[in-house]
Amino acid sequence: MMVDTDVRMTLNYILDSSRMKYGDRPAVGMALETPLSYNEMHHHVIALACYLLKDGVSKGDRVAILAENSHFWGLAYFAIVRLGAVVVPILPDLPESDVHHILNEMQVRVLFTTQRQIEKIYELKKELAGSVITLDDYLAPGDVIKVTPFSKLLAEATAEMDSLEDAPSFAELEENDIASILYTSGTSGYSKAVMLSHKNLTSNAYSASRLMEIPPGSVFLSILPMSHTYEFTMGFIMPLLCGCHIAYAGKTPTPAILQNLCQHEKPFAIFAVPLVLEKIYKKRVLPQIEKSKLLSLACKTRLGRKMIYRKIGDKLLQFFGGNLKLMGIGGAALNPEVEQFLYQARFPYLIGYGLTEAAPLLAGGPMGDRTIAIGSTGKPIPGVDVRIVDPDPETGVGEIHAAGPNVMQGYYGDVESTSDVLASDGWLATGDLGFIDEQGNLHVRGRSKNVIVMASGENIYPEAVEHRMNSFPWVVESLLLENNGQLEAWIYPDYEVLDEITAGKSRSDRRVCIEELFEEMRQQVNTQVSASSRIARVFERREPFIKTATHKIKRYLYNEHGMIG
């Protein structure tokens, strides 16, 4: 996409310029419903900003959004930043204690929320300085907490604004003004408040828009939480920049609902976490092959596998509506076996790498580049520099550092943590390990804090071993831990698959069968890894691991016994 010569790197400029360019084109709406046009979206945002200004919100104030995805979420966001106020997006899955901590620390003026979230704030009603607005128009019991339904507010605000003789005016913004403060939900414990400026977010969206041709009017189906910077920048700001139509799925859809939405919306692009693709691969691709002796036999040859994968890939494209040109995959590492399938199936995917502190994208694509290596995250995106610090002389693996206009301003109220990761010259230490190959592709090996150093001195990257375990159809997820110099694996199995495998067996026979499966998996994985990476014991876990918003396991919660410590 071409960038204006008069670009101002604020979110307000993006909304204003998109309205001028795309006017009556569809902009945002719930899937299966009539969307708002760019003109309507802009009109609603200005009216809502007028209301917030009248409610006492001014430049620098903090306003929180604790809600599931909807186009109203986006209207609220743009209205807040129109005033120069700071948005505090809160992940809907966060527990009540975390929500209280964020709202108290941020001292929010106004809160946008929904019925599913409002119980988390009942005890805070006295501490909330301003309005509580329900994006889904939920009317809480008056004696518990006073709320304002969004639709009523918007109708009144629009009528009042339309009656004004002069256009409303708001505070002047600079590109380095803070737009958002996002609380990380990391794998290593302590949550930090990342300060992202308008320029951090807009520069990343501009860079991402250059990774492939995105025609105006293209439909982006949104299935990830907008409160996470991955979906916000890639699935919200970037498509608006390009004149696209964003359709919101609402809550996380089941495969059947997702298929129905895709048949109707025929999306051009979807951003997803690896779990979505890995589930489809395990539940829809592998069973087709394993239940047919002919297909299983054909897949043992390179040519046969390529032909079958391409046919399945065509069916997969039809599942997503038949118009998919981009499946953006990020937030966590994709299983190598699944990527091999996607590549051979000619499925239109791009893997991205980034983190909240980089707003978020650092590397990915570009689409159509034949030098992108399978297993890598592609090239650093335009405008971003990536380097490897203290690389291992043999492997080239070292810590990934990055610099660019998308790198955060720092952690709110935490100078020490900021100085730990952000150098005075602007380079960000990501905490991830990786290397850059001869073609310029970035390969991420895992978090530096996750590396297991064995007695032999060899570094074990647990994610690589876990991917091999997760490839088994009856494994949902796994966690590799070190205990007294040996590696142990904890497996959360897919009990539906185990029920099929053990159908008709007695309880005792079923237990023996499952133990045999675990042992077979252990032995098979051990033939595929180095001697130091071999698993000594495998244990069954009866419930899912606790994970971050992008479905990475929170490793710090588990001690050497695989239990919460």
What angle in degrees, to the nearest 10, is found between the helix axes of 11-22 and 198-209? 40
- Across 87-101, 149-163, 288-302, 469-483, least confident range: 288-302
If pLDDT is split at 50, 70 and 90, which confidence band does 559 have? Answer: low
Residue 192 φ/ψ, nearest 5 degrees: -115, 150
What is the token pair recorded at 559?
């001690």
pLDDT at 98 over 50: yes
Please answer whether residues 515 and 505 qualify as being in contact, where contact means their C-beta atoms are separated by less than 8 angstroms. no
Q: What is the rounded radius of gyration, in angstroms, for the C-alpha atoms of the chain? A: 24
pLDDT at 1 over 70: no
Q: Report the pLDDT averaged over residues 438-463.
A: 88
Confidence at residue 13, expressed as pLDDT on a 0 to 100 scale: 96
- Helix, strand, coil % in the chain, rounded to nearest 5: 40, 20, 40
Q: Report the pLDDT averaged over residues 530-538.
A: 91
CA gap 306, 323 in Å, rounded: 22
CA gap 91, 345 in Å, rounded: 34
CA gap 354, 489 in Å, rounded: 27
Cα dihedral 338, 189, 118, 130 sign = negative
pLDDT cut 90: percent of the chain above it: 73
CA gap 92, 390 in Å, rounded: 38
Confidence at residue 12, expressed as pLDDT on a 0 to 100 scale: 96
> Which position has the higher pLDDT, 454 or 175?
175
Q: Report the pLDDT averaged over residues 334-360.
A: 95
> Which position has the higher pLDDT, 457 or 258?
258
Confidence at residue 4, expressed as pLDDT on a 0 to 100 scale: 40
Please answer whether residues 217 and 247 qualify as being in contact, where contact means their C-beta atoms are separated by less than 8 angstroms. no
User: Exposure pattern of 8-25 as b/e (b: 16+ CB <10 Å)?
Assistant: bbbbbbbbbbbbeebeeb
Enter the CATH code of domain 452-557.
3.30.300.30
In the chain, the amino acid numbered 395 is: T
pLDDT at 423 over 80: yes
Residue 543, strand partner residues: none
Give residue 259's Cα distance to chain centre. 20
What is the token pair recorded at 529?
């890894």
Token pair 């109220």 in the structure block, residue = 413
pLDDT at 432 over 50: yes
What is the token pair recorded at 7?
């670009």
Contacts of 252-257 spanning 24+ positions with Cβ under 8 A: 252/223, 253/223, 255/279, 255/280, 255/283, 255/284
Q: Class assignment of domain 269-322+325-449?
A: alpha beta
User: pTM for this structure?
Assistant: 0.90
What is the token pair recorded at 464?
């690589």
In angstroms, the Cα distances linking 3 to 8, 174, 176, 230, 505 are 10, 19, 19, 22, 64
Residue 280, SS3 per DSSP: helix
Confidence at residue 189, expressed as pLDDT on a 0 to 100 scale: 52
CA gap 547, 477 in Å, rounded: 11
Q: How many residues does the chain have?
A: 565
Nearest to 46 by CA among 131, 134, 162: 162
Q: Report the pLDDT averaged over residues 282-306.
A: 83
Residue 195, strand partner residues: 181, 410
Residue 453, strand partner residues: 459
Per the prediction, the chain carries an average pLDDT of 91
Output the DSSP codes for 25-57.
SEEEEETTSPPEEHHHHHHHHHHHHHHHHHTT-
What angle in degrees, to the nearest 10, is found between the helix axes of 302-319 and 336-344? 90
Model confidence pLDDT, tens digit, residues 2-46: 334 345 899 999 999 999 999 999 999 999 999 999 999 999 999
Residue 204, SS3 per DSSP: helix
Confidence at residue 17, expressed as pLDDT on a 0 to 100 scale: 96
Q: In what helix (H) or strand (E) does residue 182 lie, and over which residues does it extend?
A: strand 178-183
Model confidence pLDDT, tens digit, residues 145-191: 889 999 999 999 999 999 888 888 898 999 999 999 999 865 455 57
Residue 358 φ/ψ, nearest 5 degrees: -120, 15
Please answer whether residues 379 and 361 qualify as being in contact, where contact means their C-beta atoms are separated by less than 8 angstroms. no
Contacts of 16 (CB under 8 A, 6+ apart): 42
Residue 248, SS3 per DSSP: strand
Q: How many CA atoms lie within 13 A of 114 on its CB side?
A: 18
CA gap 529, 411 in Å, rounded: 39
Q: Class assignment of domain 11-235?
A: alpha beta
Nearest to 186 by CA among 64, 98, 276, 274: 98
Q: Report the pLDDT averaged over residues 215-239.
A: 97
Confidence at residue 279, expressed as pLDDT on a 0 to 100 scale: 86
Confidence at residue 304, expressed as pLDDT on a 0 to 100 scale: 85
Question: CATH 3.30.300.30 region(s) of the chain?
Answer: 452-557
Nearest to 554 by CA among 8, 150, 117, 98: 98
> Which position has the higher pLDDT, 561 or 283?
283
Confidence at residue 129, expressed as pLDDT on a 0 to 100 scale: 64
Model confidence pLDDT, tens digit, residues 79-95: 999 999 999 999 998 88
Output the DSSP codes for 394-435.
TT--EEEEEESTTS--EETT-HHHHHHHB-TTS-EEEEEEEE
Please answer whether residues 376 and 443 qualify as being in contact, where contact means their C-beta atoms are separated by less than 8 angstroms. yes
Residue 28, strand partner residues: 36, 246
Please answer whether residues 446 and 463 qualify as being in contact, where contact means their C-beta atoms are separated by less than 8 angstroms. yes
Q: Report the pLDDT averaged over residues 526-549.
A: 90
Q: Report the pLDDT averaged over residues 456-468.
A: 87
> Which position has the higher pLDDT, 142 or 371?
371
Cα dihedral 305, 307, 311, 314 sign = positive
Question: CATH 3.40.50.12780 region(s) of the chain?
Answer: 11-235, 269-322+325-449
> Which position has the higher pLDDT, 438 or 284?
438
If pLDDT is split at 50, 70 and 90, which confidence band does 253 have? Answer: confident
pLDDT at 562 over 50: no
Q: CB burial class (10 A; 0-12, 13-18, 19+) of residue 485?
A: exposed
